[in-house]
Structure 1
Amino acid sequence: MYRITKEFHFSASHQLGHLPADHQCARLHGHNYVVVVELASDRLNGDGFVRDYHELKALKDYIDDHFDHRHLNEVLNMPSTAEALARHFFDWCRERWAETSAVKVSETPKTWAEYRP
């Protein structure tokens, strides 16, 4: 199996208001997010790629237009957890690129959430 990944970055705020008031994530705060999309295929296309990295610019544009420097509670119709973001970006990518196999989202350098069906 061939696998490729590409990393994207954005900054945004969010608040997990459903948590107890004394939980740090219940307060308004922000993160410098990292999103890694993974595409996989058992064969390469005619150019020798799983998918040309240039095609993945559409995800950068989507993130820049809808997520970067925004308040995620106003963008998403779900809790704005890293897990929910990973699933959201996976679904968005899978609609465009059938080879999408996983998406990882990091809120901090030490934490990652991944969605992989």
Structure 2
Amino acid sequence: MYRITKEFAFSASHQLKDLPSDHQCARLHGHNYVVVVELASAELNAHGFVRDYHELGPLKRYIDDELDHRHLNDVLGDDMVTAERLAKHFHDWCADRWPETAAVKVSETPKTWAEYRP
């Protein structure tokens, strides 16, 4: 299996409203998110790629236009915008466009990662 990854970054706020009020994540706060998309294929295309990295440009535009420097609860209509749910959101968004989408990882901090892999 051939695998490629591409990394994207954005900054945004969120609030985990279902947590107890004394939990730090229940308060409005933000992160510098890192999103890593993995595509996989048993075969390479005619150009020797799983997929040309340039073809992933729509994800960068989506992130820049819809998520960067926004409040994710409002954008996604969810009171519990966790890294895990973001990973699933990005996976579904990518899989709708690129069938080779195998997994998406999301980091909120340099030491924490959540991954969605069906």
Alpha-carbon distance between aligned partners in 2 of 1:35 and 1:17, rounded to the nearest angstrom: 23
Number of aligned residue pairs = 117
Equivalent in the alignment of 2:95: 94
Equivalent in the alignment of 1:64: 64
- CA RMSD, Structure 1 to Structure 2 (Å): 0.5
Equivalent in the alignment of 1:85: 86
Structure 2 unaligned runs (5+)? none
Alpha-carbon distance between aligned partners in 1 of 2:29 and 2:77, rounded to the nearest angstrom: 18
Moved over 3 A (4+): none
Structure 1 unaligned runs (5+)? none
Alpha-carbon distance between aligned partners in 2 of 1:57 and 1:113, rounded to the nearest angstrom: 23
Alpha-carbon distance between aligned partners in 2 of 1:108 and 1:25, rounded to the nearest angstrom: 13
Percent of pairs with identical residues: 79
What's the TM-score once normalised by structure 2's chain length?
0.98
How do residues 1-117 of structure 1 correspond to structure 2 at under 5 angstroms?
A: 1-78=1-78, 79-117=80-118
SS of the counterpart of 1:75?
A: helix
What's the TM-score once normalised by structure 1's chain length?
0.99
